[in-house]
Structure 1
Amino acid sequence: MAVSDTGHGMTPEVVARVFEPFFTTKPDGKGTGLGLAMVFGFVKQSGGHVKVYSEPGEGTTVKIYVPRAVGAAAAAPRTGAPVELPRGTGTVLVVEDEAAVREIACAILTDLGYRVLEAADGEEAMLVFGANTASVDLLLTDVVLPGKVRGRELSERVRMVRPEVKVLFMSGYTENSIVHHGRLDDGVQLIGKPFKREQLARKVAEVLGAPITAPEGSGKVVELRPKRDT
């Protein structure tokens, strides 16, 4: 698959660094440089590779190569009843600068019964939180946000106003502001991107301390209590 544009193009020096996490040619606050790095990671996980062709003034072409599927795809047989996902009624403030990721997260949470507020960066999130201070139960925020207010600082500001608000970080990378030597800071909750519907549903319920029903037929209800912050 090839995607081409007719933009300004890139110099060889820039092309050599396009897949580096957090590398960007945009000014401060206009991007985090994660887009192509995430594409590179997804493609490599699928056993493929990516090539970038670009020249100044000539535009850019990105070519993605993935293994060809051989034979007809067979639907996996259903082994049991559909998994019942935990639902909720609380209010979740979703903060994510990537519009597609934010839209998916908001749609999943709304479908699960939550009231959802959204913001594209830390500054907007503070405005939304200020207008809904008493009702927000959970802050779901990306670790790396454009602008001056990053995810960790945003969570600290929110909890200075209302310490009882739960916080769940999301990230495509282990960011050293919350992860040290492969371990999360005490009291920190993290979900990796990209995430599945079931993963987000269960993680949000876990952080909020909602009861989660075991698969149908077990007759058990497992209550997940929120962890005490240290």
Structure 2
Amino acid sequence: WEIAYNPIRAEDGRIIGAFHHAVDVTDRLREQAELTDTQEALRQAQKMEAVGQLTGGLAHDFNNLLTGMMGNIEMLQMRVARGRLEDLDRFVLAAQGAGRRAASLTQRLLAFSRRQTLDPKPTDVNRLIAGMEDLLRRTVGPSNTIEVVGAAGLWTANIDAGQLENALLNLCINARDAMPDGGRITIETANKWLDDRAARERDLPPGQYLSVCVTDTGTGMAPEIADRVFEPFFTTKPLGEGTGLGLSMIYGFARQSNGQVRVYSELGSGTTICIYLPRHLGDAASGDDVAAIAAASAATGETILVVDDEATIRHLIDEVLDEAGYTVSGAADGAAGIKVLQSGARIELLITDVGLPGGMNGRQVADAARALRPGLKVLFITGYAENAAVGNGHLEP
């Protein structure tokens, strides 16, 4: 029952009594409970739909990539077996390309939840776009034209250049798909001073930003579609033709970079998607660091202990380090690695996976190794995103 009391007042405002009434709310409470159950069932159905979209898209994408890798490796093996050693590089390069795209797909999975590891550096965005033009033109095909409008004196952004490249590639692919009969894609950069109002409209703090906008002359989007494009797993493509992670990856990258992304679209009039990135007060990084690494002297037989439970990765690291002139000792788990260290063998560096089986993770292996050899240098490797490794308790933040 729901009981309400209302005072009865005289003409002069004095309370001279009270009126109360009671209402049976059984039906209303039952309806509220049924509504709650219905909403929970809807959330569960939406969750299952998202899982279905995710698994269908991933299975399609990974199967294509695995076919590309395995097919080219098998062709390479066949040609070598037959003694046909000319022009083998194309099979190697094709397999490598498929592997990189598979790694990129994994990054998108991490990115939609904003858990990928970024490597921000001061970046000249105009130069980055110019370096991608040929790739973008090949990607969108001959029926589409690309126009690049780079702002003079564009500010520097402190970003992960590889993630911005992935974002631009995704935006151009989406623009291409929105123009089945061909059209024009414009990539435009600009410096932006966002005052309180403009910043509020973009959900950003006021300040200096640079924008990277991709505009197409395609079909555009209805408001209800535009409102959902950054949702993980949301896609208007048929099942199996995409994961719905491309735009949410862009959103995750922009937010991790302390920026924002916005979509402006009208049905039948094309779409513009803009990434806003904070200005970095400094010059873009040069290639000196990379050149210094490339020019580093070769190893002279130093011994490295590699601890990784995945044999394929362990053997690959072995081959790479051997080519660089190092001596390598391998172990499949933490206990085996500790035994090597206890043996008195000369070890200059420990490389260990973060996630290991057998009760000892990489952090614990490193601690035990340092207890045995206090001056030992340790390098961690992991398939986790950086904050996922910390969150799972494998590494200290």
Same fold (TM over 0.5): no
TM-score bucket of the superposed structures, by smaller chain:
0.3 to 0.5
More helix by share: 2
RCO higher in structure (CA 8 A, sep ≥6)? 1
Higher Cα Rg, which structure: 2
